[in-house]
Amino acid sequence: MADGQNLTIANTILKNVYGDINEQINNATPALDGIKSTARNITQVGGLGITFVAHTGRNTGIGARGEDELLPDAGQQQYKQGTTGLKSFYGSVRLTGQVMAQASSNYQSFADVTSEEIERIRDDIAKDQNRQVFGDGSGTLAKVAAAVSASTTVTVDSAKYLQIGMRVDFVVSGTGARIAADATQAYYTIATVNKVTNTITVDRAVTITSGQVTTGASLVRSNTTTAGVLNNYGKEWTGFGKIIDDSSTVFGIDPSVTSSWKAFVKDISTSSGTVMTQVTETDMISVVTNIAAEGDKPDVIWCDHGTWNGYWKTLQDRRRFVNKVDLDGGNRGLGFVTEFGDLPLKADFDAPSNKMFFVNSKKINLNTSRGWEWIDEDGSKWKQVPYKDAFVAYLRNYSELSTYRRNTHGLLKGILAVAN
């Protein structure tokens, strides 16, 4: 059993040896590159939330007149208030009492064990938040692609975000209601993942009807038990998948009412989105030009590696030399030249397939009241697990992504990917 001295040493290691955990996590999240972290939009009114003003229209109080005619009526800029709440994120590290007891007797051994756990949870948090940057806030990791009848094997649309050992719920897209036949039971644990066939196996048989597949049966992270549903549905960042869209209401502003509150979206697929098409520079120019027509422009293009390869193939098919742009750290990468400036094309393993996100990173905020930190209001970062000779340390973060100008971003989808 660890004593007070061991806990003091363990707390010191977390504070001093591992430094700024928030900075380490952010540095390992490439899709956040260029996105400004700010607390200026956060308000305490009605609980922690985000309020910002979006510019949605110009001043109409201008006009040409003849001699001695009445001057134009006064006008003003048009604004809409956007609102949303901060999302709550957590991570935890657990050590047994025997390991904790080494804190005073074998400092280096304890530091080595703790270092492994901290580095792993740091990498896991960064990886998951990087995925959320490209998500729509629903927490969807994959969608069920075919009905399942009392089987442990499930076919999904893409297994790229699924991992062995991951705990998941099957839920209805749009409501988050659990839909598996044994929905009163605890979460499912993924046993195997095949990213070639897009199939997984789970720890017990599951039944999902064809009707449920049609309505969008989704997999989300879960800690659900028989005592209650605890999963990620609707609790993740509002990422590019929601922000860079032309039809959905986001942050309380409806684009069907406020027409300027929409990103430019171009779909080059055929057959109702089932057949992907090789991307052309004309397609990409179309996106940038339509965004620029609204008075601004993107500064980076994000896609996955298969889509990046698809653009490379387009360049190879059409000319001998390709454009390159300077990236951070003195590196050079593939770029896209437009009359509005060169855009770096960046590939990210967590970006969805067959899409390019044209992002104005200066118009997206990472709203946070505090960075990632250890929970230690009671004076200790380590808490004893009830009725166990074990201790756990919790990380937390309150944050949300937002944009105050939606029409400065764009999406090109339906792109034919080329395998690595």
Provide the pLDDT for residue 330: 40
Q: Where are the chain's structural domains?
A: 4-57+79-136+366-402, 142-221, 240-364+405-413
| Secondary structure (3-state) at 1 | coil
- pLDDT tens string for the chain (420 positions)? 444 445 555 556 555 544 555 655 666 677 876 676 665 666 554 456 788 888 777 778 788 878 887 887 887 788 888 888 889 999 988 888 777 776 666 656 666 667 777 778 888 888 899 999 999 999 999 999 999 999 999 999 999 999 999 999 999 988 999 998 777 788 999 999 999 999 999 999 999 999 999 888 999 999 888 778 899 999 999 999 999 999 999 999 999 999 999 999 999 999 887 899 999 999 999 999 999 999 899 999 999 999 999 998 888 776 544 555 554 434 345 778 888 888 999 999 999 999 999 999 989 988 887 778 889 888 888 888 999 998 898 999 999 999 999 999 999 999 999 987
In whole angstroms, give the CA distance from residue 138 to residue 87. 12
Task: Note the CATH number of domain 4-57+79-136+366-402.
Answer: 3.30.2400
Provide the pLDDT for residue 420: 76
Residue 8's identity, in one-letter code, is T
Question: Residues 360-380, buried b or exposed e (16+ Cβ, 10 A)?
Answer: bbebbbbbbeebbebeeeeeb
Which residues are CB-contacts of 334 (< 8 A; sequence separation ≥ 6)?
308, 311, 312, 322, 323, 324, 325, 344, 345
Provide the pLDDT for residue 194: 98
The CATH number for 240-364+405-413, chosen from 3.30.2310, 3.90.320, 1.20.1070, 3.30.2320, is 3.30.2320
Cα–Cα separations (whole angstroms), residue 365 to 40, 61, 80, 139: 10, 31, 17, 20
- Write the pLDDT tens digit of every residue in 28-68: 677 876 676 665 666 554 456 788 888 777 778 788 878 88
Provide the pLDDT for residue 137: 96
Please check whether residue 139 is in contact with residue 231, taking contact to mean a CB–CB distance below 8 angstroms: yes
| Secondary structure (3-state) at 55 | strand
Question: Residues 232-250, buried b or exposed e (16+ Cβ, 10 A)?
Answer: bbebbbbbbbbbbbeeeeb
Report residue 338 as tokens: 């437009």
Please check whether residue 72 is in contact with residue 65, taking contact to mean a CB–CB distance below 8 angstroms: yes
Provide the pLDDT for residue 401: 92
Q: Any alpha helices (H) in 134-167, and if so which ranges?
A: none
In whole angstroms, give the CA distance from residue 229 to residue 183. 9
Provide the pLDDT for residue 12: 60
Pairing, β 341-347 against β 324-326: unpaired
In whole angstroms, give the CA distance from residue 321 to residue 387. 66
Give the phi and the psi of residue 263 in degrees, each rounded to 5. -80, 160
In whole angstroms, give the CA distance from residue 291 to residue 409. 7
CA-atom Rg of the chain in angstroms:
25
Count the residues in the chain.
420
Farthest CA pair distance, the chain? 93
